[in-house]
Chains A and B, each alone.
Chain A
Amino acid sequence: MRIITGNDLKSGAVTWWTGYDWSLHVEDAVDAGDQAEAIMARETATCRVNNPYIIEGEKTADGVRPAHIKDRIRALGPTVRPDLTLKPADPEAREWVI
């Protein structure tokens, strides 16, 4: 699946295109398919999100996961500070990054 990600303009937080808006949670990401480029162009013009780009992802039993480790780390937060991730205190949070 093709998912769209970027960084929120105001907070810099990693965001994911949900089909109608942006979410902090990768699980909310949808397959943008062949509309991805058009969505990206439209969203770039709104200036809400910095540098949106398309990545490969897949649906797993645990939810949507980016294909590349870099975007999995972006989705979770730093693997070395579990208290700062989007799943704070979850001992297994790091597992799905690696």
Chain B
Amino acid sequence: MTVGGNALDGPRVGLFVTCLVDSIRPNVGFAAVALLEAAGCRVEVPLSQTCCGQPAFNSGADEATKPIAKSVIETFEPYDYLVAPSGSCAGMIKAHYPELFTDDPAWRARAEALAAKTHELLSFLVDLRGFRPQNVACKASAAYHDSCSGLRELGVKTQPRALLGAVEGLDLRPLEGEETCCGFGGTFCVKYSGISEAIVGEKAQNVVATGADLLLGGDLGCLLNMAGKLRRDRAKTRVFHAAEVLAGMAQRAIGEDAP
């Protein structure tokens, strides 16, 4: 479904909004649309999308993952690009869909073709569109957590910082262990909740130690994990997806009740 349409000659981007953004934090999806349009893209949101299939894939349930992957491939192959506001979901499509169809040459070829045009939002904006936010202000200090899949599967590291560096008034502070996993890990965090708590507990302490007003990141799973722990610990840190700040749409942080 077309949602914007003022950039008539830009690339056609299919927004893979991710299941968590769709259900829990639509504002990240609207921010992604706004940023992609500002970067000159024609954005469409296919309505038949659900999830990338990671919960099944990472459980080892390859056969149960395949129908989900095929549905994503069919839905997004007409676009010039698939862009997702998540390194984890983009990494799943880019790195793991081809692996999933090792024994199925026809689907493997389609998976590889989609993988080649799949991008995480923030790195897409910088690396492919040369985009920087203009006239966006956010007077706050912030810590940035590098989510693991984006960082290690897709090389997302400098791009979010380049984008956030263009936001007026934003003071980005170093975070101890910013490349260390937050303990989310998809189904890991509920299957091994005790271990997950120990990991996110250390992360929350490091975040609080920065004294920053905001915690930002590029993956909603990790952000929900850290925000949930910070809230449980009664910390005052407000948590946003970086896209929300970049689009000037960081009014209500995660957990700040919607009207």
- Does B associate with A? no
Residues of B within 8 A of A (CB): none
